[in-house]
Structure 1
Amino acid sequence: MIYTVTLNPTIDRLLFLEGTLTKGKNNRLEKIAYDIGGKGHHGSYAMNQQKVKNQALGFCGTTNENKLEKILADKDIQHDFVEVYGKATRESYVILEAEVGGSILITEKGFRVTDYDSELLYEKIESKVQKDDIVLIAGSLPPGFELNDLEDLLNRLKKIGCFIACDLSGEALKKAVEIGVNFIKPNRFEIQELIPSEANFLDRLRELSKKIDYVIVSLGKDGSICSHAGELLQVSTPIVGLVNDTGAGDCFVGTFLASFSLKKPLKECLSLASACAADHIQYSDSTTFSIKAARKLQKKVTIQTLT
């Protein structure tokens, strides 16, 4: 079983412009659509495409819960949230310009959680997670949930003995490395912050890998590098037309962990994850991709061993 934990959930509001975004101009919308937001939720959707059983955990606000529930139902994402009464789940605004690839993302901070809310989440997680499970903690920390709370959560999971994957950034990522989780997915700049030294990039990655079982470094359009068991693998990404790249990294992580849970070889986990992320960016929303189309793109993914 895989559990995804989204501490700072969001609803993605997709704003489709008639033209390009121009300051000082009345920028007209062609249409508005909604999608599930939050890195862990995106991961759950990706896991569903491989029919891997998973459940989304975390917090949600009650004042717009119906809107969130409808999107989750549309995406067939099984969930069991801690409800924070009187609060609204935040919205993220994804701006898509006509005939322009990529997106502009604007996010709200999210509602404040209390120590009581956090304790309810800990109890829920501890009642569900078993030693053989995988837990993905992804996204930003909400107001009120501090680094010491993240440390508490990670230590509880370490005590259970499950596989802990973290798709975090900044100080939260540093805390995950300090605790010694099993999987992280930083970018090349975060590697420099995690291992501040005069060593080159690959040597820093090797150093980091002494503590973390699986380190996958995102290189954007240049693919990724995976470090595991003393081996460095460079993974390419198929070239496709870019529509919306929001959620591409989450798609990669969710697909990788789903394949990993199915005991697939590491190279197959990596190549399918890269292909799914590539297929995803051809869609306008934050989650959609075709596993069938991705398996065709997978044949174009190359994986080389670095020395």
Structure 2
Amino acid sequence: MIYTITLNPAIDQLLFVKNDIEKRQANRIIRSEWDCGGKGLHVSGVLSKFSIKNEALGIVGSQNRAALYSILSEKQIAHDFLVQDGARTRTSFVIISEESSGSIMMPEAGFPTSEANKIALLEQIRQKVTQEDIVVIAGSPPPNFTLADFGTLLKAVKATGCFVACDVSGAYLHVAVKIGVDFIKPNEHEIEEILVDKTKTLVENINLLAKNIRYLIVSLSGEGSYCAHQGRVYRIIAPQVLEKNDTGAGDCFVGAFIAGISDQLPLQEILKRATGCSASKVMHADSSTFSMVEAEILKEQVTIIEVEEM
């Protein structure tokens, strides 16, 4: 079983406009759609699309859980969320222009997690997760979920002996690196913050970090990525596509990568498939859509080169 943990889930309201947003103008909304938000839920959506059994965990508010559950049902995402009474799951407003690439995201902060639910989540993990499972923790924690809380959560997951993937940023990424999870995916800016030796090259530092992390991916946005595994570093060059919205592309990569791990595919096949899925995602306007057909075509355009240390 694969479990995704989204500590601060959201309901995305997608607001489509004709042109780019301008101040002092009436930026008329053409249409509005709803989607689930939060990196872990996006990963679950990708896994479900690959027909891989998974369950989304996390904490949602009681006030609007029915709306979120309806979206998850449409996307065939199984879940077992803890519920916080009197709280409301946050909304992320995503403004998408139909005539240009990219989007504007304005997420709410989310509600503070109760101490009771922090404890309940740890107990849920102890009850559910076994050493044969995969756990993906992705996205920013909610207010009052401290670094100490995050460290306790990671240690509880690691104690099960399962494969632990972590897609977080900032100080939470530092905690994941220190504890030593099995998978991280910092971007080109975040990797600078966790370099082991700033006198060494990026590739040398990636190799050093990878000694304690089984799969280390460094995202280079539309340019592809680096991957370090078992003492080797690979440069993955992504296919060039027409970008509509890159929001969620990284989550798509993570979901497809974890799907490949679950299917026990060769590493280069996993990287090609994950990169193809991510490339397909940026061609679509919303936060989570990608095409399996497009991804199959695009993965054949992915180039992987083993990088020699400098």
TM-score band by shorter chain is: over 0.9
* Residue of structure 2 in register with 1:301 after alignment: 302
* Residue of structure 1 in register with 2:182 after alignment: 182
* SS of aligned partner of 2:243: coil
In the TM superposition, what whole-angstrom CA distance separates every residue of 1:167-191 from its partner, at most 9, and x where no partner exists? Answer: 0000000000011111000012222
Whichever residue aligns with residue 153 of structure 1, its letter is L
* Residue of structure 2 in register with 1:247 after alignment: 248
Q: Structure 1 residues 17-26 or 135-144, which shifts more?
A: 17-26
* Residue of structure 2 in register with 1:224 after alignment: 225
* Aligned pairs, number: 307
Q: Distance in 2 between matches of 1:178 and 1:111?
A: 27
Identity of aligned residues (%): 45
State the 4+ residue runs in structure 1 displaced beyond 2 angstroms: none
* Residue of structure 2 in register with 1:131 after alignment: 131
* Residue of structure 2 in register with 1:72 after alignment: 72
> 1:262-281 to 2 correspondence within 5 Å?
262-281=263-282
* Residue of structure 2 in register with 1:192 after alignment: 192
* SS of aligned partner of 2:76: coil
Q: Distance in 1 between matches of 2:243 and 2:199?
A: 36
Q: Does 1:22 align with 2:35?
A: no
Q: Please say if residues 111 and 142 of structure 2, whose CA atoms lie closer than 8 Å, have aligned partners that are also in contact.
A: yes
Shift of 1:19: 2.2
* SS of aligned partner of 2:189: helix
Q: Distance in 1 between matches of 2:124 and 2:212?
A: 28
Shift of 1:98: 2.8
Shift of 1:236: 1.4
Q: Does 1:151 align with 2:151?
A: yes
Q: Distance in 1 between matches of 2:98 and 2:242?
A: 14
* SS of aligned partner of 1:16: strand
In the TM superposition, what whole-angstrom CA distance separates every residue of 1:268-296 from its partner, at most 9, and x where no partner exists? Answer: 11100000011111112211111122111
Q: Please say if residues 125 and 156 of structure 2, whose CA atoms lie closer than 8 Å, have aligned partners that are also in contact.
A: no
* SS of aligned partner of 2:135: strand
Q: Distance in 1 between matches of 2:214 and 2:230?
A: 7
Q: Distance in 1 between matches of 2:191 and 2:165?
A: 17
Whichever residue aligns with residue 295 of structure 1, its letter is E
* SS of aligned partner of 2:302: coil
* Residue of structure 2 in register with 1:288 after alignment: 289
* Residue of structure 1 in register with 2:101 after alignment: 101
TM-score for the superposition, normalised by structure 1: 0.98
Q: Structure 1 residues 220-229 or 92-101, which shifts more?
A: 92-101
Q: Structure 1 residues 125-134 or 188-197, which shifts more?
A: 188-197
* Residue of structure 1 in register with 2:62 after alignment: 62
Whichever residue aligns with residue 17 of structure 1, its letter is V
Q: Distance in 1 between matches of 2:291 and 2:157?
A: 33
Q: Please say if residues 10 and 37 of structure 1, whose CA atoms lie closer than 8 Å, have aligned partners that are also in contact.
A: yes
Structure 1 unaligned spans of 5+: none
TM-score for the superposition, normalised by structure 2: 0.97
* SS of aligned partner of 1:109: coil
Q: Please say if residues 114 and 145 of structure 1, whose CA atoms lie closer than 8 Å, have aligned partners that are also in contact.
A: no
* Residue of structure 2 in register with 1:10 after alignment: 10
